[in-house]
Structure 1
Amino acid sequence: MIQSFLLLRQTALSSDAGVTLNFGNGDANESVQLGQFNDVLCKHGDDREIEIEFRWGRPADLGDTRVYVARYKKDKGGAAALKSVRLEDDGESYWAVLGRHNAYSIKLGSERYKRGASPEYRPERSVMFPPAARSKLKEHGRRVENIGLSLMEELRRISYLGPIRQIPKRDYGWSGNMPINLGDCGERMADALIASKYLGNNPGVNGDLLQDVSEWLKRMELADRVKVKRLGNSARHEIMLESDGEHINLRDVGVGVSQVLPVITAAYVAQPGTIVIVEEPESHLHPLSQALLAELFVEASIERDIQFIVETHSEHLLRRLQTLVANQDVDPSNVDMYFVEREGVNASLNDLELDEYGRIGRWPDKFFGDTTSEIENQTRSLIERKKKEMDIR
């Protein structure tokens, strides 16, 4: 699911307007490298199609919700061919559909007949209707252009942190700018922290990124604060952690701190309206910090209007999120939980059905260890052993 977001993003933002689906090039350091068309199909089927649907706007106000749907098939050479694109806004839909001789027909959903067909109408990057197609749509051309531009802007708002963040360096150079995206491995985290030391108009809740990040490190009992230390008069800086009056280079602390620091920083660097995708934020963290990640995501979401998509194996994070719902700190309508369940070679995405009391209505089999049963078994074993020891005496 996460890779579909990244696939759409790197396709829509590709420098090549003629790209159909940018499955990724390892040499280009792109977010995902998915191979070829067959590699992304379930069970590597030969006669399947791919469909990507993306909705954006404010779901609470259906009039502001826009829809993008693209369908792809495999061409004779095994590559992806764009079969159709539908853009929708305020109840009106606009179609580009592949026909004979690689020509795309242009049509409004509210009209019975297509407005024309030509290879020149092929959507650019599978997203934007080209000038020739917009011209054929006449009075609707500007609107279709705006939908496409809006989609690309929304995709630019996707910030992604992969499951393995960059191992910290002993010192960093600084370009003089504040990044709005930390990179897929958090490689620009140091730039953001250094910029917070020197630049005004910092991101975050109180306009001080270093302070916001420090507060979370302290709540997680990982450090008292994070500091930036300049090396002489150079452009190089150290990222330091202060704990009990001692200052330690980030390179010299536990891996868990270096893995969670980009997660905390991303929550406060991201601009309002951003979608922040994080894989395994709990990596190398102790249980308290894992649980507090749930509070980080909730508070940043509420205070900064950020949507988080989190992939996690942490029971502590999930349990704390349930508690936050039960305590009415977060509205359950703003939280969706899904569990990917495998049965043989098949997989399904199942809604866990979180209610207003934080209870999960569809608890998957063997989802996490059964804590209650473990305690019962442990107690039973203890009693039986004590009895045996008493009998021996």
Structure 2
Amino acid sequence: MLTHLKLNNFKIWRSTGQMQLAPLTLVFGTNSSGKSSLIQSLLLLRQTVKSQDTSLDLNFGSPDSNDSVVLGQFADVLCRHGAATGIVKAKQIGIEFGWQPREPGVAGGTFTAKYVQGQGGSADLAYLRIGSAGRGFTAQLGRHGAYKLLPENARYWSKQSPTFKPQRSFSFSDSAVKALGGDADRVLSVGPMLLAELGRFIYLGPVRRLAQRDYIWNGRMPGSIGDDGAQAVDALIASGVAKQVAAKRGLPVPAAAALFNGAIHWLSRMGLADDLQVRQLGRSARYEVLVVNNGEASNLKDVGVGVSQVLPVVVAALFAERGSIVMVEEPESHLHPVAQTELAEMLASVSRDRGVQFIVETHSEHLLRRMQTLVARETVKTEDLRMYFVEREGNIAKLQALDVDVFGTIRPWPEHFFGDSAGEAREQAKARAERMKRVVSNA
């Protein structure tokens, strides 16, 4: 589980401060205020450590490489209104996050990095610290592109060399490992921990893949559902077929069918489907997904867009293994208010019962209101929930923590959080009075 996030001079963020994260973290705010940049920073690190190009300190992404984010060059990511602070210099980008595995007795850690502009608009690592319970290291850029290393608990820095540069912001060259000698174990043990934590990420962007009339399924459960949910239906088909096979053989419902049954449960609660069916088209590898309402089955393509947009969200939550971190933008897209409130119920239930962390960027007042209700009902603990409001102050973003007490009350309530409802009511009353006056005068 991620415990905190801190950005400095990253896109619109001059500084977020230390943003505390919880099993349920909801981020609200106005358009173009910087909400998505919070998630993008984590996706940027994930695609960097997964990159095959060891020369990249930050992989800003390419539209031809199927990267999660494509951010351009260093100048595009550096906050144009950034300033020097006690943490970073004016022309530096800073990214930090902490993690704590939910398994008892397993130590967490912290990743802290600072970057400067390199050749051709790339990013050069200026400082890196990855630490966890006595293991870890600090790397510092010196003169002429040379780096020095300080293993955790070591008394002295290593000698400097360009070959000591951490690769992809976390791993080391053979020459660096050899130079560290007996201290190398403390350095090398941290990389796999960081990789494991970033490997727990499941991300769904704000625009999910639209429904198709049928799907080619390869007969296996996919390894991921894709950033646009393109493989979500594949996962649903795999689970549905497992349920069908067991039923035909008179066997108990298998564990593989849990995703399919869970999707039916939550879609039903949202008022979007009474049942789901998976049907093979002849003997081909093509399958169609049918949505059943009021006893009538319709192809997924023929039902409302809201179903195809929320289905990947539901599948992502149920697909996630214990300890996963699911990051979703605008899960409420194309959903009516009742369905949006049930989204809050699903997030809370999956997080509590299956140990999944959710970081959600949303505009949904209905999701927020139900989350307040769940706190008041003691279904969600206050320590398991963090909510933030993001707004722009001139050219920079500002992060405001929304404190939720045990009764579900939010303080402070940001001005114009979900529009000016009181002001709108006054304008409506004024317009109604003026029109009634005209009707009376013309009678």
Query: TM-score with structure 2 length normalisation?
Result: 0.82
Instruction: State the 1:354 CA deviation.
Output: 1.5
Structure 2 residue 86 is the aligned partner of structure 1 residue 43:
no
Correspondence for 1:316: 366
Pair 1:235–1:57, CA change in 2 (3 A)? same
State how far apart, in whole Å, the 2-side matches of 1:77 and 1:371 are. Answer: 49
State how far apart, in whole Å, the 2-side matches of 1:335 and 1:129 are. Answer: 37
Structure 2 residue 174 is the aligned partner of structure 1 residue 137:
no
CA contact (8 A) 1:205 1:212 kept: no
Query: Is the partner of 2:80 in helix, strand or coil?
Result: helix
Matches within 5 A, 1:59-208: 64-91=107-134, 93-108=136-151, 110-199=153-242, 207-208=257-258
Instruction: State the 1:181 CA deviation.
Output: 2.1
State how far apart, in whole Å, the 2-side matches of 1:387 and 1:328 are. Answer: 50
CA contact (8 A) 1:38 1:45 kept: no
Letter in 2 for 1:338: Y
Size of the alignment, in residue pairs?
392
Query: Is the partner of 2:203 in helix, strand or coil?
Result: strand
State how far apart, in whole Å, the 2-side matches of 1:77 and 1:243 are. Answer: 56
Instruction: State the 1:376 CA deviation.
Output: 6.9
Correspondence for 1:294: 344
Instruction: State the 1:21 CA deviation.
Output: 0.6
CA contact (8 A) 2:108 2:132 kept: yes
State how far apart, in whole Å, the 1-side matches of 2:95 and 2:181 are. Answer: 27
Correspondence for 1:345: 395
Pair 1:375–1:180, CA change in 2 (3 A)? farther
Instruction: State the 1:372 CA deviation.
Output: 5.6
CA contact (8 A) 2:139 2:166 kept: yes
Q: 1:4 aligns with which of 36, 41, 47?
A: 41
Pair 1:236–1:11, CA change in 2 (3 A)? same
Correspondence for 2:380: 330
Instruction: State the 1:52 CA deviation.
Output: 1.2
Deviations 1:70-122 (A, max 9, x none): 11001254321111211111155511111122211111354442122222211
Instruction: State the 1:199 CA deviation.
Output: 3.7
Pair 1:68–1:282, CA change in 2 (3 A)? same
Correspondence for 2:306: 256
Letter in 1 for 2:381: D
CA contact (8 A) 2:60 2:70 kept: yes
Instruction: State the 1:171 CA deviation.
Output: 0.5
Instruction: State the 1:223 CA deviation.
Output: 0.9
Correspondence for 2:51: 14
Pair 1:373–1:143, CA change in 2 (3 A)? same
State how far apart, in whole Å, the 2-side matches of 1:103 and 1:170 are. Answer: 57
CA contact (8 A) 2:204 2:329 kept: yes
For structure 2, list consecutive stretches of 5 or more residues without a partner in the other structure.
1-37, 84-89, 247-252
Pair 1:148–1:204, CA change in 2 (3 A)? farther
Larger RCO (CA within 8 A; separation ≥ 6): 2
State how far apart, in whole Å, the 1-side matches of 2:42 and 2:353 are. Answer: 24
State how far apart, in whole Å, the 2-side matches of 1:118 and 1:310 are. Answer: 42
Query: Is the partner of 1:369 in helix, strand or coil?
Result: coil
Instruction: State the 1:265 CA deviation.
Output: 0.7
Q: Aligned-residue CA RMSD in angstroms? A: 2.7
State how far apart, in whole Å, the 2-side matches of 1:313 and 1:267 are. Answer: 19
Instruction: State the 1:383 CA deviation.
Output: 7.8
Correspondence for 1:307: 357
State how far apart, in whole Å, the 1-side matches of 2:296 and 2:159 are. Answer: 71
Instruction: State the 1:132 CA deviation.
Output: 2.8
Instruction: State the 1:45 CA deviation.
Output: 6.1
CA contact (8 A) 1:210 1:227 kept: no
Query: Is the partner of 1:141 in helix, strand or coil?
Result: helix
Identity %: 47
CA contact (8 A) 1:38 1:44 kept: no
State how far apart, in whole Å, the 2-side matches of 1:92 and 1:234 are. Answer: 53
CA contact (8 A) 2:81 2:395 kept: no
State how far apart, in whole Å, the 1-side matches of 2:288 and 2:272 are. Answer: 18
Instruction: State the 1:136 CA deviation.
Output: 3.1
Structure 2 residue 399 is the aligned partner of structure 1 residue 362:
no
